[in-house]
Amino acid sequence: MKIGIIGAGHIGQAIARLAVRCGHEVKISNSRTPDTLSDIVEQIGCLAGTAQEAAGFGPVVVVTVPFAKLFQIDPQPLAGKILIDTNNYYPDRDGRFAELDTYQTTTSSMVAKHFSRSTIVKAFNAILATDLKTPTAQPASGQRRALPIAGDDANAKRWVEKLQDEFGFDTVDAGPLKDSWRFERAKPAYCIPLDRAGLATALAAAERDVELPHGSWRR
């Protein structure tokens, strides 16, 4: 499978590395020029391109840029694609979004509105980049770590579940895209190493207007 990645930060690089290791072809991009990614290309074994080239590379595109910058991406090249949304809202970084602060919508709902002709699956946002790159944090049960996903298209979610399985993770489906808030920043499932049962419990325990202390998910 050909996978485009828009965003060459820690999460983007970690997904690229895992995907190449699993036999997928990857084209990664950043906000600058492809030649600035030469070291990453050499280390990972992927291709580099512009954001538009990454968007057109294959049927699946991972968008992993700071939330506020996401809306600067042209949605047209991503029409008809499965778009994996890894974003989280950090007000200190992204600025304030009143509709998110008052729980009127979710980050992924805003992503879906911007990329209205793409099929959105929320995934890979509830794990630290270091745990994707070197998965040393494991559930206390000793079982395989599970990651949550949300989306409105069953076929797209099955594809992402297969990808997560290849990467070494189980999947818990949190439901439609509107319920993706259950594993966003400062919720019980956010970046905590849990097995399938533990993750399902954490997702069910999430409360819409209750947040964990800032940074409690960092170790």
Give the 3-state secondary structure of residue 193: coil
Q: Does 182 map to a domain?
A: no
Over the stretch 157-199, which tens digit does the pLDDT of each residue have? 999 999 999 999 999 999 999 999 999 999 999 999 999 999 9
The confidence band for 136, taking pLDDT boundaries of 50, 70 and 90, is low
Q: Does 96 map to a domain?
A: yes
Distance, in Å, from the CA atom of 92 to the CA atom of 115, rounded to the nearest integer, reads: 24
* Cβ–Cβ under 8 Å, residues 128 and 218: yes
State which residues form the domain around 17: 2-140+156-164
CATH number where 17 lies: 3.40.50.720
* Token representation of residue 25: 């072809």
Quote the number of domains for the chain. 1
Provide the pLDDT for residue 88: 95
Over the stretch 44-73, which tens digit does the pLDDT of each residue have? 999 999 999 999 999 999 999 999 999 999
* Phi, psi of 144, deg, nearest 5: -65, 140
* Token representation of residue 61: 């595109």
pTM confidence score = 0.94
Distance, in Å, from the CA atom of 197 to the CA atom of 141, rounded to the nearest integer, reads: 10
Q: Does 62 map to a domain?
A: yes
Greatest alpha-carbon pair distance for the chain in Å reads 45
Size of the chain in residues: 219
Q: Does 89 map to a domain?
A: yes
